[in-house]
């Protein structure tokens, strides 16, 4: 894997996983819609202000319309479902497991919708990775339900929203650079969640500093870092490889939780982490082409080589 691709992959996994910790921190202080409203108001102000100062340029109306829909799905739909589920008591590991079904769905649809070839090795890697995720969150799944039954449908809806946004991004007729797209996504999400919070009577933020710390966490790490790396990876690596990296989210979230809250992972979770790494490696690492096979299959090149005089 080239260095740039490796950095993108590591950044995506680490920053995307931070979102589950941010949801836990924020929903301890306020309802989910309050956290999401102020998170995106802050993100839109920071990123929008930076865009105006550093990168101001005219965007085509079609590009704005496409990215508005993509942002509503990828941030409004995905984060709304995840944060709301965690706020209702769905364990973060269980939410991560459901969201990690995305790679299998992406692999099944990538060929039909995008023409991306999913090899047998990638399918095997996706299946292995899913098994590793199941091991990581086994304790969450075996515990008694902490949320109403319908709340467990929210991560499914979130996963479907992010998957739809990923496919729309890959098929966008006027794609934008992430530096242009992410501020627009945040603005759309700010409008969406402000409307939800105001309608629910939850717009006023709590006075405690813990809430604003959670907002800063989610803006800097989860929004700027997580979504920045996600769209960058999507452009460079495609839907299947990018989605496979989501399998590393639950085990990395355990590492975050240990660092933040002192929650030490058990042996089953550690074994699941190792299985996840194996699966993601199989699904994402490209094989080097066989040089001898390429030469044998290229008669034009063979003829050209045959005309070179021997030294």
The dihedral sign for the CA sequence 227, 233, 236, 239: negative
The answer to whether 65 and 175 have CB atoms below 8 angstroms apart is: no
Neighbour-count burial for 72-95, b at 16+ CB within 10 Å, e otherwise: bbbbbbbbbbbbbbbbbebbbbbb
Which tokens belong to 93? 């590991």
3 state DSSP class of 207: coil
Q: What is the pLDDT of residues 136-147, one digit of tens each?
A: 666 555 555 567
Confidence of residue 285 (pLDDT cuts 50, 70, 90): low
Which tokens belong to 122? 């990638």
pLDDT at 170 over 90: no
More confidently predicted of 236 and 65: 65
Q: What is the pLDDT of residues 100-152, one digit of tens each?
A: 666 666 666 655 555 556 677 767 777 777 777 777 666 555 555 567 778 87
Confidence of residue 169 (pLDDT cuts 50, 70, 90): confident
What pLDDT sits at residue 292?
A: 46
What pLDDT sits at residue 113?
A: 55
pTM: 0.74
Q: What is the pLDDT of residues 8-19, one digit of tens each?
A: 888 998 998 888
What is the pLDDT averaged over residues 200-218? Answer: 92
**208 Rama sector, left if φ>0, alpha if ψ -120 to 50, beta otherwise:** beta
d(CA 233, CA 250): 19
Neighbour-count burial for 158-183, b at 16+ CB within 10 Å, e otherwise: bbbbbbbbbbbbbebeebbebebbbb
Confidence of residue 200 (pLDDT cuts 50, 70, 90): very high
Q: What is the mean pLDDT of the chain?
A: 78
E strands present in 161-224: none
DSSP state, residue 174: S
> DSSP of 73-102, one letter per residue?
IIIIIHHHHHHHHHHTT--HHHHHHHHTTH
């Amino acid at each position: 894997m080239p260095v740039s691709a490796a950095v993108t992959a590591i950044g995506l996994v680490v920053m995307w996983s931070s979102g589950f910790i941010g949801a836990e921190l924020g929903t301890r202080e306020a309802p989910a819609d309050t956290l999401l409203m102020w998170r995106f108001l802050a993100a839109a102000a920071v990123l929008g202000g930076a865009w105006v100062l550093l990168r101001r340029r005219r965007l085509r109306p079609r590009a704005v319309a496409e990215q508005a829909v993509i942002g509503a799905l990828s941030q409004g739909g995905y984060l709304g479902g995840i944060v709301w589920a965690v706020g209702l008591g769905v364990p973060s590991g269980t939410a991560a497991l459901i969201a990690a079904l995305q790679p299998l769905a992406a692999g099944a649809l990538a060929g039909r919708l995008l023409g991306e070839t999913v090899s047998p090795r990638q399918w095997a890697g996706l299946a292995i990775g899913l098994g590793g995720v199941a091991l990581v969150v086994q304790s969450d799944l075996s515990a008694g339900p902490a949320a109403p039954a319908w709340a467990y449908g929210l991560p499914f809806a979130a996963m479907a929203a992010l998957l739809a946004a990923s496919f729309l991004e890959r098929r966008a007729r006027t794609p934008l650079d992430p530096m242009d797209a992410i501020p627009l996504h945040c603005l759309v999400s700010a409008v969406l969640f402000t409307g939800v919070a105001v309608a629910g009577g939850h717009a006023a933020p709590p006075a405690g500093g813990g809430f604003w710390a959670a907002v800063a966490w989610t803006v800097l790490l989860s929004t700027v870092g997580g979504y920045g790396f996600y769209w960058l990876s999507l452009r460079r690596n495609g839907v299947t490889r990018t989605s496979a990296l989501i399998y590393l989210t639950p085990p990395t979230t355990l590492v975050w939780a240990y660092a933040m809250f002192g929650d030490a992972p058990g042996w089953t979770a550690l074994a699941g982490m190792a299985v996840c790494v194996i699966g993601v490696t199989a699904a994402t690492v490209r094989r080097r082409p066989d040089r001898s096979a390429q030469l044998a299959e290229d008669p034009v090149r063979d003829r050209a080589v045959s005309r070179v005089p021997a030294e």
